[in-house]
């Protein structure tokens, strides 16, 4: 395939993904109230309530919730389309290996979503709302709460891909573990910067809530990459 054919194939895969995403979003639109109940669940037990202060704010939050669930449900299909686009360039002998990498990437993304929903969001809300209630009444606008929820969930899902990305790059020889081990201080600083960018609120609590798992995942990635490197060395026959 020439460049134009590759671009056309990429365009076709992109339109298919977008089409499935939009159709699923439309179908989930009728379930928006039930989906919104799931999003509001972390607020249970907190002495607060959701309000909207603009005519379109509630509708905007409703759309964000529907799009979030559509993206999460479509994520396996997105991975499938990426794989189908890259498959012709992948040697037959390693295609099954890459399918396993994609499977683990999906599992880690799901784990990140559950971590955000059951750990990150509830802990952050308890700390932030509880702190504010010491001197003010807690009343959250629905759009800001939904934005906080969506950003936290998506960030956690992507952050949990760190080990699989490091392991995959190590398996194809693009990443060596020795520099990663010797540059841990620089990695920690980079993680703090990234966590500060992706966290939905600029407080230290949320920064720690994201940076600690990110560093743990970084160390897990080093460990898995080391196992892969050692396995590759054992397969090389001694001269």
**102 and 10 housed in the same domain:** yes
Q: Give a yes or no: residue 132 inside a domain.
A: no
Q: Are 46 and 125 contacting, i.e. CB atoms less than 8 angstroms apart?
A: yes
The answer, yes or no, to whether residue 237 has pLDDT greater than 60, is no
Select from 63, 221, 198, 31 the least CA-distant residue to 120.
Answer: 198
Q: Are residues 2 and 91 in the same domain?
A: yes
Domain that holds residue 196: 161-230
Query: Tokens 């993206």 correspond to what residue?
Result: 71
pLDDT band at 22 (very low <50, low <70, confident <90, very high): very high
Residues 146, 108 within the same domain: yes
pLDDT at residue 204 is higher than 90: no
Q: Are residues 151 and 189 in the same domain?
A: no
Asked if 174 and 148 sit in the same domain, the reply is: no
Does residue 212 share a domain with residue 149?
no
Q: Mind listing the pLDDT tens digit for each residue in 205-229?
A: 667 777 888 888 888 888 888 877 7
* 130 is a domain residue: no
Residue 40 near residue 61, CB atoms below 8 Å: no
| Structure tokens given for 75 | 């994520």
Task: Enumerate residues 6+ apart whose C-beta is below 8 A from 64.
Answer: 143, 146, 147, 150
Q: Calculate the alpha carbon distances from 23 to 15, 28, 82, 99 in Å.
A: 12, 9, 19, 26
């Amino acid at each position: 395939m020439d460049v134009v054919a590759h671009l056309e194939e990429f365009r076709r895969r992109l339109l298919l993904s977008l089409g499935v995403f939009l159709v699923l979003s439309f179908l989930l639109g009728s379930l928006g109230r039930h989906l919104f109940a799931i999003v509001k669940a972390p607020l249970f037990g907190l002495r607060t309530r959701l309000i909207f202060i603009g005519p379109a704010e509630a509708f905007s939050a409703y759309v964000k919730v529907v799009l979030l669930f559509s993206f999460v449900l479509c994520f396996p299909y997105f991975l499938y389309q990426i794989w189908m686009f890259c498959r012709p360039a992948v040697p037959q002998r390693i295609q099954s290996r890459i399918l396993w990498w994609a499977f683990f990437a999906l599992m880690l993304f799901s784990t990140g979503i559950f971590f955000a929903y059951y750990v990150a969001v509830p802990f952050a809300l308890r700390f932030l709302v509880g702190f504010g209630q010491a001197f003010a009444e807690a009343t959250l606008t629905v759009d800001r709460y939904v934005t906080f929820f969506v950003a936290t969930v998506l960030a956690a899902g992507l952050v949990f891909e760190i080990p699989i990305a490091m392991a995959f790059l190590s398996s194809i020889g693009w990443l060596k573990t020795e520099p990663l081990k010797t540059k841990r201080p620089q990695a920690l600083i980079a993680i703090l910067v990234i966590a500060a960018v992706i966290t939905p609120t600029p407080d230290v609590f949320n920064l720690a809530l994201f940076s600690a798992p990110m560093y743990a995942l970084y160390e897990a990635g080093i460990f898995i990459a080391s196992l892969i490197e050692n396995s590759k060395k054992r397969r090389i026959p001694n001269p």
